[in-house]
């Protein structure tokens, strides 16, 4: 699990492939993420500017981390290219939070 510091901007990327392992753009691409404080969000490509397409089949979200703890996330796609990918990253506790 990758570790970061409070205040970092973390880039989370995902790639989507077809049955021949070629990169493909799914019909719908979504991202779900949650902070350790329980704040959750869902982003949809072409609706939310924070979910960015880098190239065919490759997408990313940049997250500004504001709290220490575990930040779980999930990319998933529906329709053509349906698949899912989950992960999490850790943010270390700091003695300087709130200063």
Write the pLDDT tens digit of every residue in 18-43: 989 999 999 999 999 999 999 999 99
The pLDDT value recorded for residue 35 is: 96
Q: How confident is the model at residue 80 (pLDDT cuts 50, 70, 90)?
A: confident
Is pLDDT at 70 greater than 50 in this prediction?
yes
The CA distance from 37 to 58, in Å, is 29
The pLDDT value recorded for residue 97 is: 56
Secondary structure class of 26 (helix, strand, coil): coil
Fold assignment, 3-92 = Immunoglobulin-like (2.60.40)
The pLDDT value recorded for residue 99 is: 46
- DSSP sequence for 29-73: EEEEEE-TTS-EEEEETTT-TTEEEEETTEEEEEEE--SSEEEEE
Give the residue with greater pLDDT, 45 vs 18: 45
The CA distance from 69 to 31, in Å, is 20
Mean pLDDT score across all residues of the chain: 94
Mean pLDDT of 64-73: 96
The ranges assigned to domains in the chain are 3-92
């Amino acid at each position: 699990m990758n570790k970061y510091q409070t205040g970092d901007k973390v880039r989370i990327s995902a790639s989507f492939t077809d049955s021949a392992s070629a990169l493909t753009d799914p019909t719908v691409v979504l991202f779900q993420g949650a902070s350790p404080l329980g704040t959750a969000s869902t982003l949809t490509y072409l609706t939310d500017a924070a979910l960015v397409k880098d190239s065919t089949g490759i997408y990313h979200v940049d997250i500004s981390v504001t709290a220490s703890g575990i930040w779980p996330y999930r990319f998933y796609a529906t329709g053509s290219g349906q698949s899912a990918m989950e992960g999490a990253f850790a943010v270390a506790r700091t003695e300087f939070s709130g200063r």
